[in-house]
Amino acid sequence: MVKVFDIVAARTGLRDHEAVAAGFDPRTVAAEADDHKAYYPGSRKLSMRYTGDAVSGRLLGLQLVGLLGSEVAKRIDIAATAIFHEMTVGEMSDLDLSYTPPLGSPWDAVQMGAQAGLASGRSTASSRALR
């Protein structure tokens, strides 16, 4: 994780080329989500890139960028835990995470990104990852 001025970037797991080298068939999708409910003041966008295995649907990596105060550290830790436990992207989406409007959404930003990946995987015949 790194902070540059008011931007925080973090990464856990594998990127595409590392997943290929490790013997996976990676699929990567990009997504954006608000760090908390948009109707609540101060909402900020988070940009995410998910990498999953097309064969198993397993989450392999996440890259996350957001503004200072958007809880990037908390969210990258969620993905690190999911990767450690070899969860699929769908299983990460099903986690029961904390919620209150000023700090999050009923579906956390990392879960909304995972759901976007699931939708993307369904829209292309060759992409079974992120299911």
Tell me the pLDDT tens digit for each residue of 105-120.
888 888 888 887 777 6
Which positions ≥6 away from 121 have C-beta within 8 Å? 27, 29, 52, 127, 128, 129, 130, 131
Please report the pLDDT score of residue 121 as a whole number.
61
User: In whole angstroms, what is the distance from residue 10 CA to residue 123 CA?
Assistant: 28
Rounded percentage of the chain residues whose pLDDT exceeds 90: 57
